Every structure is written in C-alpha cells, then in structure tokens.
C-alpha cells in the first residue's frame, strides 16, 4: 500500500513536469526569425530554420522535406511583406494545424516604385520586405514572436517575457552603438549604392540616400538605362564606394566601379544572417554599419 501511495505521489509530481517539458515546435523562413524564436523561446521551443544562412530568401523554394517540417510545426514564422511569394501554397501543400505568422505584416511598411520593365511590371508601389534593417522593427518582431509563443504555451509566459525583455535590451544597446558609429560619417556623405534595394529601412533610420542598381528582389535585372543613371549619379554625387551583397553576383557592380572610379566598399548582408561572427543579428548589423561607415568616410 505504501509503495502504491508513493508511486501515485511520484506520478502526480512528475506528470505535469513531463507535460511542461513538451517544447513548442517552431519553423522559420528567415534566419533573423530563427534567432528571434530561439532567443525568446529559449529552451522551451524547438526551432527549425528552413532558410539557412547564405540562402537567398528571394529565390528559396521549399523542398518536400520542408513541407513535412511545416506540417509538424505549431508555429510557422515568415518575414511577410510579400517576401515569401509561396506562403499560401506552402501552407496548403503542407497541411498541418500550425499557425502561419507573417511577422513583418504586423508593422508599417516602406514602399517604393518597382523598376520599369522589372519583374513586377506594375505601376503601383510595392512594399520593401527587408524590415530587419531597422532595429526598431526587430524589437517589434520580438514582441510578435513573444505573443505568438505565449498563445501556444501560456504556462511559459513568464519565461518568454523575461527572454524577450533581455533580447530587446541587447537591441537597445545595438541601436545606441549604430547611432554613434553612423555619427562618424558626415550627413552629406550618406549615399549608399547597393546591388539590390534592401536598405530603405536602414536609410530612413540613419539619414542615408539609397541608389540601388536592382529592384527589391535579387531576381530583378537592372536595365541598361538604370545602370547608366547610377553611373551618372555616382559621378555627380561623388560617391566614394559602392557595396556588394553577400549572396549575389557582383558583375554589374564591377562594371560600375570601372566606369566611375568608385571603389568596392565591401560586402553587406542584405537578406539574412551570415556565418561565424556575422551569424547573429547583432553581428550582422555591426558588420554592415562598420563596412558602410569605414568605406564612405
């Protein structure tokens, strides 16, 4: 009898613990969101990033094995703002009951005109999907991820709140560092020539003017007229350096540097995290800001 009572007590003690140990299954379609989910969720979540570092999210297409992972996930985090054109099909094909959350759709967008004759081929303005180049947006995204995790696992609310607050504190520190670093660069030299139009949010926050050779997507091809305009602008504005991006073909940029005499200022991470020291959001932003400021000074 004594043994039975002990076993019963033990089962009552350990059963809730076993249930609490059940982790929330999250899959993400962006390296930035992978980090957010891991930071906010901590050891209470199991995160699978479908888009790995170095993969161009504009060109990513889900493999059959990815559909299986999506189907098994309770939460699917996407960048939103039309970054993932395949979202609806992905959810339909994969099935499953997980919540699909296009995180970027929860806050305001910057818009821009598509390049003439570009892939969009429409006169209406399009949203810039690269919201993570504004640290303020990443703070907003952190809160979105926190709220979604709390809906799925209310018992872990305190943990998610604490983790989100700690992560936002590091983002605040990063914001201060960026402001001070960018302040080293005269405001009349804040002209950023990049291969694709991914830095509008960064430009808005820190007073840069963007001259992008391609459109919003890396799949957009620049027209000869656009390239000629960029060359003219670089010469007129005395732009010292232009920047490559980690993912794409820098051929056109090399032609422009030959024609203008501007130098290659370095490589920027536009569409997601890098590897090694640049494999975190903090590392990516510090790399980009240091590269830009040092090249344009």
Partner 1 sequence: MRGSPILRAVLVVAALLLLLVPLVQLTKPVHAAPVAQSAPPAATSVVHLELTSTRAPFEFELRHLGQVIWSGSATENQVSKDVAMNFPTEGVDLELKGQWTGGVSMAAIKLSVANGEARAVEKSLWATKEFDDVLTFP
At what angle are helices 281-296 and 157-182 packed, to 10 degrees?
A: 10
Kindly tell me the burial class for residue 240, based on how many C-beta atoms sit within 10 Å of its own C-beta (0-12, 13-18, 19 or more): middle
Q: How many residues bind partner 1 (CB under 8 A)?
A: 24
- Pick the stretch among 16-24, 101-109, 233-241, 275-283 that binds partner 1 (CB under 8 A): 233-241
> Alpha-carbon distance 4 to 82, whole Å?
59
The DSSP symbol for 198 reads: -
Between residues 72 and 233, which has the closer beta carbon with respect to partner 1? Answer: 233
Between residues 151 and 181, which has the closer beta carbon with respect to partner 1? Answer: 181
> Residue 112 in contact with residue 197, Cβ under 8 Å?
yes
State the residue for tokens 């969720």: 41
Between residues 60 and 243, which has the closer beta carbon with respect to partner 1? Answer: 243
Q: Among residues 109, 103, 183, 184, which one has the least CA distance to residue 139?
A: 103
Site for partner 1 contains 291 (CB under 8 A): no
89, 179, 225, 254: residue in contact with partner 1 (rule CB under 8 A): 179
Question: x/- site string to partner 1, residues 186 to 205, per CB under 8 A?
Answer: xxxxx---------------
Between residues 162 and 187, which has the closer beta carbon with respect to partner 1? Answer: 187
- Pick the stretch among 69-77, 102-110, 197-205, 254-262 that binds partner 1 (CB under 8 A): 254-262
Report CA torsion sign: 102, 104, 105, 107: positive
76, 100, 101, 182: residue in contact with partner 1 (rule CB under 8 A): 182
Binding site for partner 1 (CB under 8 A): 176, 179-180, 182-190, 207, 234-235, 237-240, 258-262
């Amino acid at each position: 009898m004594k043994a039975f009572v002990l076993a019963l007590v033990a089962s009552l003690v350990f059963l809730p613990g076993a249930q609490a140990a059940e982790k929330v299954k999250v899959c993400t379609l962006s390296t930035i969101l992978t980090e957010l989910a891991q930071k906010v969720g901590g050891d209470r979540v199991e995160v699978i990033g479908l888009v790995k570092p170095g993969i161009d999210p504009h060109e990513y297409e889900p493999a059959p094995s990815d559909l299986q992972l999506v189907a098994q996930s309770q939460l699917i985090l996407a960048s939103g703002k039309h970054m993932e054109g395949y979202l609806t099909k992905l959810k339909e094909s994969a099935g499953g009951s997980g919540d699909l959350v296009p995180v970027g759709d929860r806050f305001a967008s910057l818009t821009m005109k598509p390049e003439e004759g570009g892939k969009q081929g429409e006169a209406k303005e399009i949203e810039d999907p690269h919201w993570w180049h504004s640290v303020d947006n990443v703070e907003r995204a952190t809160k979105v991820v926190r709220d979604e995790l709390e809906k799925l696992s209310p018992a872990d609310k305190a943990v998610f709140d604490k983790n989100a607050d700690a992560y936002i504190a590091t983002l605040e520190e990063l914001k201060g560092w960026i402001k001070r670093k960018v302040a080293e660069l005269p405001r009349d030299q804040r002209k950023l020539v990049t291969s694709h139009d991914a830095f509008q949010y960064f430009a808005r926050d820190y007073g840069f003017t963007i001259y992008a050779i391609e459109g919003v997507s890396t799949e957009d091809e620049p027209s000869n007229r656009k390239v000629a305009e960029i060359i003219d602008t670089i010469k007129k504005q005395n732009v010292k350096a232009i920047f490559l991006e980690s993912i794409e073909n820098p051929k056109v940029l090399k032609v422009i540097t030959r024609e203008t005499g501007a130098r290659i200022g370095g490589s920027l991470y536009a569409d997601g995290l890098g590897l090694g020291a640049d494999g975190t959001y903090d590392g990516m932003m510090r790399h980009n800001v240091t590269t830009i400021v040092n090249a344009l000074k």
